Amino acid sequence: MNKVVVTGLGVVSSIGTGKKAFWTNLIKGTNGLSKVERFDTSEYNRHIAGEIKNFSPLEYIPKSKIKFIGKAAQYAIAAVKHALVDANLSDLDFPAKKIGVFVGTTMTETSALDPSAENYINETWNKITSSQILNIFSGSIAQTIGSFFKFKGINFLMPTACAAGNYALGYAYDLIRRGEIDLAIVGGADSLSRVAFQGFQRLYAMAPEKCSPFDLERNGMMLGEGAGILILESEQSALRRKTGIYSEILGYGLSCDAHHMTIPNKHGISKALAKALKNSNLKPEQIDYISAHGTGTKQNDMNESAAVKEVLGEYAKKVSMSSIKSMLGHCMGAASAIEALTCCLVLEQGIMPPTINYNTPDPDCDIDCVPNKAGKKEVNIVINNGFAFGGNNCCVAFKKHTE
């Protein structure tokens, strides 16, 4: 079995595009949440989200193609370009049929659905364009990436919502480990739209002003958008190419709560985390940092904290566990991909991003959430938690690479 390593990172987010800008703002504790400008929210009860406001698709996509590519796929293409450069793959030397694309999403291309739905309701259906229809198809983001870059290997879209990026990582990890593909383009993408914004608001899960994971006074999540892409390949391939290696993926764990569509279950989360440790041959005392799912809702943060304490036991008190959703909002299908990318940078830099907006400790969340300021310590092994609607849970373990 091949060792699977991460060699490239690319990200588009509300706090920065590209690894350097993203990381600089992340460890500063930059708040990427602001008043929504993409559409009118005056009739809604909520008005703030992690909207990306300085992204220019023309930097990454020819003008003639932009109208055929949805916003989530635009973010994903930009993130792929950054990741390929970061992995020293500007000139791909892999057979196109051995390059796989594995992308997670929650809403697919709702940016295309918004105007289509409006035209349909107004009975002006003839104004709906063919590109809008094609972008709405569930696999459109992954297919667009494959077509744009001419990647001809496995092309797969993971629809497991907020844990989809982790699910994509797990599937790609298995295929590279077995030698079925040579290179994997892995991650997640979602874009902010009226459908997504109003949908989450109607679930009564959205906070009015800020996201405060693990804080006693937390009152909900905030919506975000963006894309995170990781380049995966075998260790042998990376060493042959003499490229940098961020981390080794040790394994992952999956579970399904089979409990409730939106409310997480402690036992399901515990199973995923325990399986990730078992499949990665890890003991609790080896874990240095956990990138929390940390949505800022009462139930999620309480159940996640309880599950971590159940699996890690007394050692849970020594593990740092922060939520970057406090800065980005919940980027839906891109969330666990961006958080996985963050895990790789934590291993490289030895710095843990903060959980901002933390003021009042919650006895049910008595963990080290790295409150308000970034933390520093030696980090060798990290876990990325990703939980989703329907109780779909996936935890992925990363290790600092040593030859």
Among all residues, which ones are annotated catalytic? 162, 293, 330
What residues have CB less than 8 Å from 365, skipping those under 6 apart? 214, 301, 302, 305
The residue length of the chain stands at: 403
> Residue 21 is encoded by which pair of tokens?
């800008």
CA angle 221, 223, 224 (to 5 degrees): 130
Say how far apart CA 335 and CA 247 lie, in whole Å.
19
Provide φ and ψ at 50, rounded to 5°.
Answer: -85, 65
Say how far apart CA 51 and CA 307 lie, in whole Å.
31
> Residue 91 is encoded by which pair of tokens?
């000139």
Q: Using alpha carbons, select from 285, 292, 260 the residue that is nearest to residue 365.
A: 292
**What angle do helix axes 164-177 and 335-349 make, rounded to 10 degrees?**
60
Q: Is 304 exposed, middle or buried (0-12, 13-18, 19+ CB in 10 A)?
A: buried
What is the DSSP track for 120-174? HHTT-GGG--HHHHHHHSTTHHHHHHHHHHT--S-EEEE--GGGHHHHHHHHHHH
Residue type, 280: S
Angstrom CA distances, 113 to 61, 108, 280, 286, 323, stand at 21, 9, 40, 45, 30
Q: Using alpha carbons, select from 44, 39, 37, 9 the residue that is nearest to residue 23.
A: 9
Q: Please measure the distance between the N-terminal and C-terminal CA atoms of the chain and give it in whole angstroms.
A: 16
Q: Do 332 and 223 contact (CB within 8 A), yes or no?
A: yes
